[in-house]
Structure 1
Amino acid sequence: MSLRALAAEAGVSSSFLSQLENGRTNASVGSMRKVAAALGVSPAQLLDDSAAHTRGVLRAEQRPTIQLDGAEKFVVSLPPLRNLEVYAGSFAPGGSTGEEAYTHGNAQEILVVTGGSIVLQLGDERYAMHAGDSIEYLSSAPHRVSNESGADASVLWINSPPTPDETPHAP
């Protein structure tokens, strides 16, 4: 997150954050709460100089799940998202992300097939993909994933930057 974006999210000036970062000023409790909220951490985490390298384990049974048409999409990255978001998906035979291709944001998206076979419809192109295959595209391009095989399939979606908080929509 840029200094400017953090300042806007926290409702403080970027010059204040710069001075705070460089030890030239102190923060009030109110300012610390705003900055912590914008970063998605507790104020105590801002004061702890042992930098956390992880947000912890997201257990499979605790992952938020998005039900699709004969498929499921699982959140893999814990909020707040830093520079990317990751989803895992499972597709039953005949399952898909929906009848229509959709778009969301304008992020770099990477689709990795982790098991089975899927078909990626990307604009007017169709890509038959198998376990281990990957492809990169912009999330603003109309896309749709389907499992046309007779066996289960699984994928990972990786987006950078994270998709804005918007509902995916058909083009």
Structure 2
Amino acid sequence: MDDGGSVSETTTLGEKIARFRALRGLSLRATAASAGVSSSFLSQVENDLANPSVASLRRIAAALGVSPAVLLESKTGHTRGVLRAVDRAQHPLAGAVKYVISEPPLRNLEIYSGTFEPNGSTGDVPYAHGDSQEFLIVVSGTITLRLGDEDYVMHRNDSIEYLSSTPHRIRNESEAPAEVLWITSPPTERITTRTTTRTREQMQET
């Protein structure tokens, strides 16, 4: 059971909560535990069968890394509204942060931005996700992209296109911060596959 003070526009709210949770790669149980609600209640909210109280909505939003305003903001017919920088969902990485730019529900594109401190990276090993067209552009600074078995040093305004199923990794080997933008079409599930060099070599031998 949840307390009173329910919010309106439950259909849009439930869809947004489910989509943000998917973007963050969070399970229903983990999100519910972080928000201090039961898994069954959160499932009902996502399926438009229950209305969260204002207090519960705040906790759910915090668990998703967004503000309640993002979940409640109404959209006009010609725009999905402004996503404020402070309201972007975040994925902490190794000396870097990946921000969710595309608001759910996703349509044709999935957009992320990333900031990389010196020596920061997307992780220790390359990763892959889905089999979509992915476009990477360097907004500022210099990064090194490991794509398959090749390294590409990229500077401001440089860009590259590849399949998201190709193992890839970004690292900042410079002495200054760097910022990048990812665009993926169509959107992919945020379940990534980490691929080590040994695994790739074994695959090539088969």
Same fold (TM over 0.5): yes
5 Å matches for 1:40-59? 52-59=77-84
Root-mean-square deviation (CA, aligned residues, Å) is 2.2
Task: Indicate the SS of the match to 2:86.
Answer: helix
- Partner in structure 2 of residue 169 of structure 1: 193
Which segments of 5 or more consecutive residues in structure 2 lack a partner in the other structure? 1-10, 20-75, 196-206
Deviation of residue 98 (structure 1)? Answer: 0.3
Distance 1:37 1:81 in 2: 11
Letter in structure 2 aligned against 1:88: S
Q: Which consecutive aligned stretches of 4+ in structure 1 deviate over 3 angstroms post-superposition?
A: none
- Partner in structure 2 of residue 4 of structure 1: none
Task: Indicate the SS of the match to 1:91.
Answer: strand
The counterpart of 2:161, out of the listed 119, 130, 136, is 136
- Partner in structure 2 of residue 110 of structure 1: 135
Contact residue 116 and residue 179 of structure 2 kept, 8 A: yes
1:122 aligns with 2:147: yes
Which segments of 5 or more consecutive residues in structure 1 lack a partner in the other structure? 1-32, 41-50
Give the aligned length. Answer: 127
**TM-superposition CA deviations, 1:63-108 (whole Å, max 9, x none):** 0000000000000111111001100000000000000000001110
5 Å matches for 1:152-163? 152-163=177-188
Letter in structure 1 aligned against 2:191: T
Deviation of residue 132 (structure 1)? Answer: 0.3
- Partner in structure 2 of residue 67 of structure 1: 92
Greater Cα radius of gyration, structure 1 or 2: 1
- Partner in structure 2 of residue 101 of structure 1: 126
Deviation of residue 161 (structure 1)? Answer: 0.2
Distance 2:193 2:95 in 1: 19
1:86 aligns with 2:111: yes
Contact residue 15 and residue 105 of structure 2 kept, 8 A: no
Task: Indicate the SS of the match to 1:149.
Answer: coil
1:149 aligns with 2:174: yes
Deviation of residue 54 (structure 1)? Answer: 1.3
Distance 2:187 2:15 in 1: 18
Task: Indicate the SS of the match to 1:105.
Answer: coil
Deviation of residue 37 (structure 1)? Answer: 5.6
Distance 2:15 2:181 in 1: 29
- Partner in structure 2 of residue 29 of structure 1: none
Q: Percent identity?
A: 57
Distance verdict in 2 for CA 1:115–1:37, change over 3 Å: closer
User: Normalising by structure 2, what TM-score?
Assistant: 0.58
- Partner in structure 2 of residue 47 of structure 1: none
Deviation of residue 131 (structure 1)? Answer: 0.3
